[in-house]
Structure 1
């Protein structure tokens, strides 16, 4: 007597059963020991990360810049970023000048290789390696690296070293920005 419209009642009951069955399937560990939500998350991660991983190609392309020696005064506005940039440079075996300005002297390829390797560590969720290497939080180190490369790119452009500046910008975009 409680059911006034049996057709709609049974249709609703059937849809509720289908919904409950779908929930059971979604939350059951039937796909490689994980549920459907984990499987879809892994699928989307592989699609998005696979389409943005250029680090291997960048490292190969960077090999021709190891012979390129640079000596550039890098313009970085914030003084604390200059000090942090000096830490990053010294940890990557660059000689660091004393004083207020930042002078980068050495192999462009070596510096960009360090940026690419650090970006790879961050990409693979190993930020603790970066934090330990530089003695600062990993995101702060990558932000500092980005500012260092941004200033380096501007300084190389001022020196009319356009090919080198374009390469620095490409490493910034495809390595440092992607891993931050």
Structure 2
């Protein structure tokens, strides 16, 4: 038996409206995406837009001006070592591959800047420019050049520490973690500044709170209208 019909009906009405809105949220009404996918893309775009450190890392690299790097590192396989030679020579250095071993010699800042420029192209989703620059990678993954840079910088970090060139190793680590990984992981995501989407961001957060409370009150009204009470006895 319904204890309070008015309150029960209000709860049912709120539940019905809740599920109507939920159904609408799963329809492709937002640029061909449902609300969940749209907001996921939006927050990925905002996250990417707030993670552009190329200029800052170029300034950091300048502190190492005049340093000539000479290291030998192991790549994942022979193909990667051979392909990576082109990256270093395009940066003005010299490199040779023997099996998986890659030997690099050259101006460290010039090599870091070349890496930063390539990563910036991928950050801006311009993989075509990278494939045009490195024809040997044309048939491979769009992100292959930047992935090769990731392995090279990891090698710099490891080998330069062995040479006690800790400042140089730190910059390689920073470029990798702040620029190369960002460009690789966010590939094809369009960067967006939060200030350009602040209205949607605020609305989505406020709506989330209200929508959650909406469901909670609907259940509360249904149970109370039904006559169910929470008792401490």
TM range (shorter): 0.7 to 0.9
Is 1:76 matched up with 2:75?
Answer: yes
Is 1:67 matched up with 2:66?
Answer: yes
CA deviations over 1:50-85 (Å, ceiling 9, x no partner): 443222211221222242222222333522221011
Separation in 2, partners of 1:143, 1:28: 34
Change (3 A) 1:23 1:166: same
Is 1:118 matched up with 2:118?
Answer: yes
Is 1:164 matched up with 2:163?
Answer: no
Which residue in the other structure is 1:95 paired with? Answer: 94
Q: Is the 8 A contact 2:150 2:180 kept in 1?
A: yes
Separation in 1, partners of 2:25, 2:148: 46
* RMSD value, Cα: 3.4
The worse-fitting range, judged by mean Cα deviation, of 49-58 and 102-111 is 49-58
Which residue in the other structure is 1:138 paired with? Answer: 142
Which residue in the other structure is 1:151 paired with? Answer: 155
Larger Rg: 2
SS in structure 2 opposite 1:167? helix
Which residue in the other structure is 1:57 paired with? Answer: 56
Specify every segment of 5 or more residues in structure 2 that has no aligned partner in the other structure, as ranges: 185-233
Q: Is the 8 A contact 2:153 2:172 kept in 1?
A: yes
The higher-RCO structure (CA 8 Å, 6+ apart) is: 2
TM-score, normalisation: structure 2: 0.60
SS in structure 1 opposite 2:95? coil
CA deviations over 1:126-175 (Å, ceiling 9, x no partner): 22222222231332222211111112222212222111111111111111
SS in structure 2 opposite 1:53? coil
TM-score, normalisation: structure 1: 0.75
SS in structure 1 opposite 2:80? helix
Aligned length: 175
